[in-house]
Structure 1
Amino acid sequence: MSEETTVDASPSTAARRLEWLVGASARAPLPDDEIRQRLAPALLDAIGGPEGLNAALAGVGRLAVREILTSRPDNAQAAVRGRAADYLVTVGVDGAGLIDDVRLTPDEPSPTSWTDIDGRLARLGVRVSFAAAEIGPDGRCRIRHGLDADTQRPIGSAFKLYVLGALGQAVAEGRASWDEELAIRDDWKSLPGGVLQNRPAGTTLTLGEYADHMISISDNTATDHLIHLLGRDAVQRQTALFGHRQPDANTPFLTTKAFFQLKVDPARARPFLATSGEERAVALKELERLPLPDVRETWPRPFRIDEIEWFASPADICHAFAGLLRLDQPEIHHALSRNDDGLNLDASRFPTVWYKGGSEPGVVTLSYQARTADGRALATSLMVSDPATSIDTADVTVKGQAIIRSVLRLLATPQ
């Protein structure tokens, strides 16, 4: 490939949009109006609005074009140099010239065998757990391939699958309804990600809308409102109902506000970790009554990721997906299928895709459930963590998704 070059914007609208996107990687955060002028509304909604795009650009870091590979009016692809590796960027545009598809993939051949996949997994980090499974008609997970699939790891925001499950369970039992309205409360607000922390107290949303925000853009304020509404005990029970093998690892269940209080202030973390049982539950409530900490950026290095976090194994996450499938509620499907974080599977082969990820310094989690065209439910969960060194989240995400695409293709192939 050639040395770094400048995109020739003349051949196609898609090439001009690709040029803008590569340039934007060095300028984030971008103004909202600049983003809205270039991204199609459906794509922008799926990635969490301008805030979501700016977060993604910040995670990827500055990109530099190495070579233009294709340039058609509706589609362009370039080889780019990233912060940690080389990638392919593909941009698609709609009839109005707005970006309606963006893909970032490693600039290397896709793995084609389980042996190749294991090698790729091993290179992602110091601690890697993975499960590739099929969820049978009986609702049980059958692990087809795994790497420490039963090993418990910190999972970041993937814990929100259990909050969604507790909401679905409450609806199934008649204790809640998806169209029930709940007002935003200042004392239940948390820090980003998300947008609901910016809404004034008293603003009402339905529980379905809270669920959509919680899952599709990992909104922490939406999550904490649902935990408080449902009750911490109900969410803890849901981990057991979904077949989590060590549900006590998440007792008492953290809200995101309490998580941030502990992460940003070691002076609070030490006494909290010294407690147990009922004392810890009381300490958690005291933390939730404190004002939100001032966090302009995340803590730079991993901090007690094996003590202050939410925990599950890849096999546990498969069981959670199976439990959500058993609840069989359209609102659950809607929340989980709004954003695939750029996995971009072939829709003719995988018409339905669920996604939930999670991250903090030292932790990256990617979990998917994909329904094949012939109705089979496939699940994958990748967990990468390092208690001592920060992980390049964007690099692990892009490489992890490349592995997951190949895994799902292998799982979908008849045995």
Structure 2
Amino acid sequence: SINTAEHLPVGSTFKLYVLGELVRSIRQKERSWTDIVRLDSAFRSLPSGRLHTWPHGSPLTLHTLAAMMISESDNTATDALIRLLGQNKVAQQQSAMGHDRPELNLPFLTTLQAFKLKYGPGDLAAKYVGKPSEEKVTMLAAIDTVITHDSINFTMEPTAVESIEWFATTAELTRAMDWFRRDAIMNKDSTALRILAINHGVQIPKEFRQACYKGGSEPGVINMTYLLEHSNGTWYAVSGTWFDTKGGVDEIRFAGLMERAMQLLAE
């Protein structure tokens, strides 16, 4: 392992913590996988995903939102869950899942808020960074309504990846994955593991009978995190992050490195 204690931007892998808070709320009988929520077009995000094109008021179960958030990294599904569960609740769940410095992700951003800060008008990222947490919350509430989708202009260059992102170490992400394994055993319910197993990201060695995955990327950032069950019954968690503030990262090369790491574990 290399630099496992360094907090790096992880892109959409942060959605593990959203799924974790959903699972916690279900365990506490606050919610159910079959609960139905309706999409609010006022908070539709931008790709990746498909739900940003769906009509206002479309009904979806929490299970469907979670599955789309994890398997397709659907940002609108993610934001719907964050707003339903509560940004503070998701932030608190980080510690329960093994994050040592959850304050790095406060306030806990929705994907649309991150897009607006990074790519909206008026150099919002520079105005946001360095503010006290209370002022950040006030600023986010303002941009929720003032900044429109039409004013968001994406770039393929790394943009504020060292400041407007979600941060975790690879060790924390492996602990997050193991939290789902332990929760499934304790509660005799593997629903979250099955959701995490929908999309494997890359080819998984045949020696693993179960593979759970979440990854994330944006220009200058890529992360891939796995929970793997070997046919001999041994569990492994693997996570890698590549981060470059000055240029893009080679996603194909990185995926190949992760595949090789899993092949070594399989042997």
**Structure 1 residues 293-318: Cα deviation after superposition (integer angstroms, max 9, x where no partner):** 33787312111111100000100100
**Structure 1 residues 264-309: Cα deviation after superposition (integer angstroms, max 9, x where no partner):** 1352222222421211112112222235433787312111111100
User: Following TM superposition, by how much is the alpha carbon of 1:346 offset from its aligned partner in structure 2, in angstroms?
Assistant: 3.2
Q: Which is richer in strand?
A: 1
- AA at the equivalent of 2:257: I
For 1:297 and 1:338, the matched residues in 2 are separated by 32
User: Following TM superposition, by how much is the alpha carbon of 1:203 offset from its aligned partner in structure 2, in angstroms?
Assistant: 0.7
Instruction: Indicate yes or no: 2:154 matched with 1:294.
Output: no
Partner of 1:230: 85
For 1:388 and 1:268, the matched residues in 2 are separated by 20
Partner of 1:21: none
For 1:151 and 1:274, the matched residues in 2 are separated by 20
- AA at the equivalent of 1:340: H
Partner of 1:260: 115
For 1:257 and 1:390, the matched residues in 2 are separated by 22
* Identity score, percent: 33
Partner of 2:223: 365
For 1:300 and 1:401, the matched residues in 2 are separated by 20
Unpaired runs of at least 5, structure 1: 1-145
Q: Which is richer in helix?
A: 2
Instruction: Indicate yes or no: 2:162 matched with 1:306.
Output: yes
Secondary structure, counterpart of 2:265 in structure 1:
helix
Partner of 2:133: 277
Instruction: Indicate yes or no: 2:230 matched with 1:375.
Output: no
Relative to structure 1, the CA distance from residue 297 to residue 333 in structure 2 (aligned partners, 3 Å threshold; closer, same or farther) is farther
Partner of 2:258: 404
- AA at the equivalent of 1:233: N
For 1:193 and 1:409, the matched residues in 2 are separated by 29
Q: Which is greater in Rg?
A: 1
Secondary structure, counterpart of 1:294 in structure 2:
helix
- AA at the equivalent of 1:294: D
Relative to structure 1, the CA distance from residue 410 to residue 295 in structure 2 (aligned partners, 3 Å threshold; closer, same or farther) is farther
Give me the TM-score of the superposition, normalised by structure 1: 0.61
- AA at the equivalent of 2:10: I
Unpaired runs of at least 5, structure 2: none
Partner of 2:212: 354
For 2:146 and 2:190, the matched residues in 1 are separated by 37
- Contact map agreement 1:178 1:208 (CA 8 A) in 2: yes
- Contact map agreement 1:172 1:327 (CA 8 A) in 2: no
Q: How does 1:40-51 map to 2 (within 5 A)?
A: none
Partner of 1:84: none
- AA at the equivalent of 2:76: T
- Contact map agreement 1:185 1:201 (CA 8 A) in 2: yes
Partner of 1:335: 195
Secondary structure, counterpart of 2:30 in structure 1:
coil
Secondary structure, counterpart of 1:354 in structure 2:
strand
User: Following TM superposition, by how much is the alpha carbon of 1:243 offset from its aligned partner in structure 2, in angstroms?
Assistant: 1.1
**Structure 1 residues 144-181: Cα deviation after superposition (integer angstroms, max 9, x where no partner):** xx110111100000000000001001101111110000
- AA at the equivalent of 1:218: S
User: Following TM superposition, by how much is the alpha carbon of 1:182 offset from its aligned partner in structure 2, in angstroms?
Assistant: 0.4
Partner of 1:166: 21
Instruction: Indicate yes or no: 2:244 matched with 1:386.
Output: yes
- Contact map agreement 1:212 1:334 (CA 8 A) in 2: no
For 2:86 and 2:131, the matched residues in 1 are separated by 21
Aligned residues: 262
Relative to structure 1, the CA distance from residue 309 to residue 252 in structure 2 (aligned partners, 3 Å threshold; closer, same or farther) is same
Q: Structure 1 stretches (4+) deviating beyond 6 angstroms?
A: none
For 2:151 and 2:123, the matched residues in 1 are separated by 16
Partner of 1:321: 177
Measured on the aligned residues, the alpha-carbon RMSD in Å equals: 1.6
